[in-house]
Chains A and B, each alone.
Chain A
Amino acid sequence: KAGVTQTPRYLIKTRGQQVTLSCSPISGHRSVSWYQQTPGQGLQFLFEYFSETQRNKGNFPGRFSGRQFSNSRSEMNVSTLELGDSALYLCASSFGGDQETQYFGPGTRLLVL
């Protein structure tokens, strides 16, 4: 069974631009969660989508948004990029039940200049 895939793996943007990251979950998984990982703040929860609906949200500004498609693939968008948005963005998928094991993708490394 293929694992969680994320595209692109690396991305360089400049301040003020916007970016869209993609995550394809493991086949059969209906939940996709997004996390931001930085050296200073560690791994922080962004949001979770289940069956195309946002089910949980972390404490990030509205510039961070996401969506999920009917095939469970998910995208996250960051608008008006700031230098502090430079991070590794990880997505994780699961079947979506309570405390189901999450399987992480390799992440997208975003650098904002």
Chain B
Amino acid sequence: TQLLEQSPQFLSIQEGENLTVYCNSSSVFSSLQWYRQEPGEGPVLLVTVVTGGEVKKLKRLTFQFGDARKDSSLHITAAQPGDTGLYLCAGWWATGKLIFGQGTTLQVKP
């Protein structure tokens, strides 16, 4: 059983479309993080959301932390081929121990 459930697992869209990826848990997390991983590389941190209800924007990416701190979403506006990659949500379970969702593989076609 995954502590963090991500959906969808796969997403293939055309350039210019919008998309949302969800990360849900039955547990409360003090913060949730979103990473992006490209083939042959390790995950790279995009953002950390800490406060329930918090919304953070990173150019065309919008991250939201649920009020109850059990869920988060990542919304991409006008997706571009350069957004292609594996998106992972993660939460701290203990010091030094990150728990990851299964990941969402995004393919943006030109």
Contact = CB atoms under 8 A, between A and B. Distances in A.
A97 B44 CA distance: 19
Count class of interface residues, chain A: 20 to 34
Interface in A67-99: 90, 92, 94, 96-99
B49 interface: no
Contacts of A4: 42
Contacts, number: 62
A24 interface: no
B100 A43 contact: yes
Given A43-B43, A99-B31, A56 B102 contact: no
A56 B96 CA distance: 7
Contacts of A48: 95-97
A52 to B, nearest CB: 14
A101 B50 CA distance: 13
A97 B96 CA distance: 8
A7 interface: no
Interface in A30-44: 31, 33, 35, 42-44
B28 interface: no
A55 B100 contact: no
Interface in A56-71: 56, 58
Contact of B42 (A31, A96, A106): A106
B96 A104 contact: no
A95 to B, nearest CB: 11
18 contacts: A4-B42, A35-B98, A42-B2, A42-B100, A42-B101, A43-B43, A43-B88, A43-B103, A48-B96, A55-B95, A56-B95, A92-B42, A99-B92, A99-B95, A102-B45, A103-B45, A104-B43, A107-B42
